Amino acid sequence: MSNGSATMSSPPIEQLQGVVERLTFHSEESGYTVARLKAPRTRELITIVGSFANIQAGQTLQLQGIWRDHPKYGPQFQVKQYKETKPATLTGIEKYLGSGLIKGVGPVTAKRIVAHFGLDTLDIIEHHIDRLSEVPGIAKKRVKMIQTAWDSQKAIKEVMVFLQGHGVSTTYAVKIFKQYGDEAIETVTHNPYRLATDVYGIGFITADQIARSLGISPHSEYRYRSGLLHVLSESSEEGHCYLPQPQLIDRAVKQLTLPEYHPKPDQVEYLIHAMISDAELIVEQIERETSTELLCYAPPFFRAEFHLSRRLLHLLAHPIKVDKNRVRSWLERFMAQTDVNLSQQQQQAVELAASERVVILTGGPGTGKTFTTRTIVALWKAMGKEIVLASPTGRAAQRLSEVTGHEAKTIHRLLEFDPKTMKFQRDSERTLVADAVVIDEASMLDLFLANSLIKAIGPETQLLLVGDTDQLPSVGPGNVLLDLITAKQIPVMELTEIFRQAQASHIIRNAHRINQGQFPQLESVSPSPMSDCLWLGAPEPEQGVQAIQELINDLIPQLGYVPARDVQVLCPMTRGEVGTRKLNQVLQALINPPHPDKAELTRGGLTLRVGDRVLQQVNDYNREVFNGDMGVIEAINLEEIAVTVQYAERSVSYDLADLNEIGLAWAVTIHKSQGSEYPVVILPMYMQHYIMLSRNLLYTGLTRAKKLAMLVGPKNAISMAVRQIKDRQRYTLLERRLGGVPKANESLASAIL
């Protein structure tokens, strides 16, 4: 009886065929999809739910699955198996052509083509593509573009079918084909772990899933080597340049463990030694009081750290001869002419910059770093020096240019990055043509950017690094500015005196209070605030979301600010009710709602609309836009599925395959806001983000506000942020190397560099 009743209670497997009308939700990571299907002889769209390696509007699918009745959403077809068939209906052909797979054909053009050729459309494109010029609005130039795209799509069809059979999405399949061409299948079959290093967006976890699908053994040496490099790469996202060997082994064992497979630590240790022999890993030995510690580097990290320390020491070994009395006389004249009295600290900083090869200028907000920098630039000009200025981000460079009256660039543009060679054109062989270089927001310098910069500084060039070590450290590996200061090899001028004008700002006063571990003095939000630093309780996250909307709708416009231009919401994290993901959807609907005159594009659950503020999420050297750059969507071409973004320095166009590089930026994380300033900043601070709340996070977020800061959330979350000092140690030996590489490693260094 039990068997009979079990059989009766199980819904029967059914067949269903139809055209995908639209995607409601699709996860690139898991493949989980909710879509709406148009089946023959049915008026209503059918909701289908399942895991799809790739799914696009317009595909005709044959599905096997079961019907379920969802308590909230009603009948759904749960897909167990599926396969794509060539679209056989006019609607299917139209959707297929307009899905974005073929550049040059968007929904509008697809509709025209199908209206003209009907069911013969695909045959016409395949064999008589010149006839597309018969379609109104399609010029010969467009026909050539469509032909190229069609041929390319045909060329990768075999590769895509193979990859999708092993769980790879269309987007990644295209990138894999671009990387390997006709050798894609052979490369992936032989060693899928190459994808983790060669193709952006495919990490070790995805490569490992593909490898398992291909039947590659979990104890494959390729897997172990890739897993170890993945662990080091992941640790670099925490700011580490290396990992102690015991930590590397422990993390790698966890990473390589599968439900059916448990690697042993000694197996991982054996592979570490094999990788050291093959120069895939580098180990630094550090003698402690009671033991020898082995520190494991991926080679690029070791080389960058070693070279950075050596080049800095080389620069410092070339002193400058300068008449300090003449410098002081110039400074007195400058102060008299500008009617500005520099503090003793500021004057010392100017004299130091005139007489030292490398100088660090640091200090908190309101201490006069900007005016001191401007004075140093004026002095260097008076000395006849050729000066270049740069910052890590476009926005910071723009601000540096405004305050100094001198052109400033991003460091990448200053060093002339060439996307063809993937290298900076300015280096030790072709140094910067400058007598003096100023780098602002130096706390953002990670190990690799700092190394590339110092490499391009000639032995006779002076360097001024300006930054605030109380801000969050760089997003990338290393803690460069702090290491340079604590090494005590480079002259440092720290400005501590807060100027009277700055003391009037509650933003600046509170930033210093936070730094000293004191709770900020906050004025409650009111229609006529007296302070530039406000607080709104809103105890629960859901109330916080509502409060932020009300501030943007009502108070902020009343105070004379334009939300679309002036307001930036900064969050501790991406997740949660008051994380960037949820808030971006809310703020997009509020600040930049849909409009018939605004083109918009939805891909993978993300809607992009003309007028949206967006953030570049990775370094894209081909387009010369970098992680953290912020811009505004100025155009969306639905025909070619292309999005054009206006950044501070230039416009950049993205095609379908690269749209995952950008995301909405009405709300961004505080980490991503480094180097930027905004007229109005809203900071939601809630205990749901307790893991990230810290003093330097709150300090960094608050000091991004130029004119008005508004904290939203309960005081206990703000208090926790003030109390928590999360300057977690970053594994870096830069400070130690500036005192000289340990003698035991001189032979190692010379052998590998």
The position carrying tokens 């797979």 is 101
Residue 98 annotated in ligand binding? no
Is residue 422 left, alpha or beta, with left meaning phi > 0 and alpha meaning psi from -120 to 50? left
Q: What is the DSSP string of 96-140?
A: HHTTSSSTT--HHHHHHHHHHHGGGHHHHHHH-GGGGGGSTT--H
Ramachandran angles phi, psi of 496, nearest 5°: -120, -20
CA distance 33 to 56: 11
469 among annotated binding-site residues = no
Phi/psi at 38 (nearest 5 deg)?
Answer: -100, 110
String of DSSP letters for 501-527: HHHT-HHHHHHHHHHTTPPP--EEP-S
Cβ contacts of 79 within 8 Å, gap of 6 or more: 48, 49, 50, 51, 52, 63, 64, 65
Calculate Rg over the CA atoms of the chain.
29
How far apart are the C-alpha atoms of 384 and 374, rounded to whole Å? 16
Q: State yes or no: 366 annotated in a binding site.
A: yes
Tokens of 75: 């009948």
**Contact at 8 Å (CB) between 361 and 464?**
yes
Our measurement of the distance from residue 669's CA atom to the centroid of its chain's CA atoms, rounded to an integer in Å, reads 10
Query: Taking a C-beta distance cutoff of 8 angstroms, is the pair 591, 574 a contact?
Result: no
Helix ranges (DSSP H) in 628-733: 695-702, 715-723
Angle subtended at Cα 672 by Cα 564 and Cα 562, rounded to the nearest 5 degrees: 15
The pair of structure tokens assigned to 719 is 């208090």
The annotation status of 461 as a binding-site residue, yes or no, is no
3-state secondary structure 302-354: HHHHHHHHHHHHHHHCCCCCCCHHHHHHHHHHHHHHHCCCCCHHHHHHHHHHH
Q: Binding site annotation covers 375?
A: no
- Tokens, residue 312: 């800095």
Alpha-carbon gap, residue 367 to 425, rounded angstroms = 36
Q: Which residues are within 8 A (CB) of 262 and not within 5 positions of it... i.e. 6 or more apart? A: none
CB of 522 closer than 8 Å to CB of 534: yes
Bridge partners of 569, per DSSP, are: 667, 682
Q: What is the DSSP secondary structure assignment for residue 553, as one 8-state letter?
A: I
| Binding residue ranges for ATP | 366-370
| Binding residue ranges | 366-370
